Every structure is written in C-alpha cells, then in structure tokens.
Homo-oligomer: A and B are copies of this chain.
Amino acid sequence: MCHACVIENVKTSMLSRRELFRGAASVGLASAAAGVISARPALAQSTGRVVDLTHAYDGDFPTFDGNPGILYSSQFEHDRDGYKIWELTIYEHTGTHIDAPLHFAADGASVAELDPSSLVCPLCIIDIKSKAADDPNAMLEPEDIEAFVSANGDIPQGACVAMNSGWADKLGTEGYRNDADGNFTFPGFSKAATDMLIEIGAGSIGVDTLSLDPGNSADFAVHYSWLPSGHFGIENLANLDALPVSGATLFVGAPKHKQGTGGPARVMAVI
C-alpha cells in the first residue's frame, strides 16, 4: 500500500475509534466501549497540569563560587555545517541542580547511582516566606514541619520536602545571593529539620535558593549530614508558588553521568 494510503487508513481508524469512545462515554457505556476500542484508550493516559520547577540558565546564572556555571563553545554551526552543536563546560553545581550524596561523602552514591524510584515522588512544599522576609538567613525548622503536617497531613514516605522562601522572585538581582555588604545571604534548612526528615522517612529536600544550608552557614551542617545519610537535595528550584503545598507528584530529571556529584537537572511537577 502507498504511504499516503497507510496514513489515511490510520487517521480514519483513529478518528472512528475516538468518535466511538466519545459517543459511548456520553451515554454511560464507557466501560463496555473500552474493550471495543482499545485496551488502554488515550484518555486513560492523560496527565495533569505540568509545572516546570527548573530555571533556564546560562553563564549569567548565579553560582556559589561566583564563576560562570556554564561556558559555550561552538562545535558545529548551521551556516557552515548544516546543523548546530555546542560543546559545554559545566560546573556540576549550577542552575537548578542535584546534590548527590557523593558531593559531601567520599563513599556516597553518585548522581548516576540514585535509585530511580526516588526520582518520582510526592512533593510537599513548606512556606517560610514570612520569616524569610524578616531574616534573609532564616531556616526551615522542625516547628515548620510540624505546622505543615498539622495543616496538610502526613509527609509521605520518600517525599521531597521543598522550602519555599520566596527567593526565586529575587533571581536576577544581587539579593538572590548577597546582602548589601556582599555576604552570602539566603534561607535554607536547619540540621534539626533535616534530621527530623530523616527520622520520618522523607526522601529528598529542595530549596528555592543557592544552597541547602542558609547563606550565613559556617559549617554546612545540612550538606555534611543529610547528603552522607544517603539522601539527595535540589537547589535553585523555580515556580513553587504555582503548586499546591501537597498533592503534586515530582519528577526529578537528575543527570546520569558516572561518578557525578550532582548536576543540572530538569525538575517538573504534575498536579
């Protein structure tokens, strides 16, 4: 059969089945029709609203050490080669990215060794905007977790617990990283809070700032306890305001280069 004929056949077939399904559903015969049209009709695969929690980034994105987190070198160009490819130099911990256990534990899991089932999980968002507005080095504390559970119910086993400090709105200003004197200044988790999350079985944590620890941390207590305990973290999350505080499912698109200590990730949620 000619290709055009095959296409017409498939389109006609798909269309007629869709019409059948619509008709059947409208008169309450969806279950009977399901066997006729398909074992898995398209509607069964529909997903909810997708919210992208990832900042687009380039060399201007703020980094912990202040150097550009990504450099671009042209390898092939449309005009000359007919297609385009960049060679990228990437500092692992830039943009919206993962901290794997290996980042702070010599014997910890690399980003390629994270359990895939830990990368699709329930998302709980704890809002500390009010105290972060008063203290830009505010910490998410056990009391904030307690208040969240009281108001919203359990933190599911393996959930990602994300801090929403309102800091994503500061991206593009000095205030995302520094105070007026140039000192690191942003909210983070307290070690007491992440110790509590280990006890109650959370799987990962996320922050809408540059670091799991607050900007004025001298000891990186969360990095040196949470990551070596076998958990991962996500830094520089975007768009947490677009989600309910519980009920969304998080997809953590962690990179998978061997021996990686982390790296730029695509993080999305489905409501």
* Least CB separation from A261: chain B residue: B84
Whether a CB of chain B sits under 8 angstroms from the CB of A152 is: yes
Known interface pairs A14-B155, A89-B87, A89-B88; A45-B264 also in contact (CB < 8 Å)? no
Q: Is the CB of B42 within 8 A of A116?
A: no
Q: A7-B195, A253-B253 are in contact. List 6 more A-B contacts (CB 8 A).
A: A37-B154, A42-B153, A79-B106, A85-B91, A120-B251, A251-B251
Complex interface: chain B residues within 8 A of A14 (CB): 149, 154-155, 200
Q: Is the CB of B116 within 8 A of A103?
A: no
Chain A, 219-252, contact with B by CB distance < 8 Å: what is the 0/1 string?
A: 0000100000000000000000000001101011
Whole-angstrom distance from the CB of A240 to the nearest CB of chain B? 15
Known interface pairs A45-B156, A56-B256, A154-B41; A3-B196 also in contact (CB < 8 Å)? yes
**From DSSP, what is the main secondary structure of chain A's interface residues?**
mixed
Q: Is the CB of B54 within 8 A of A256?
A: yes
Known interface pairs A50-B119, A120-B251, A266-B256; A84-B103 also in contact (CB < 8 Å)? yes
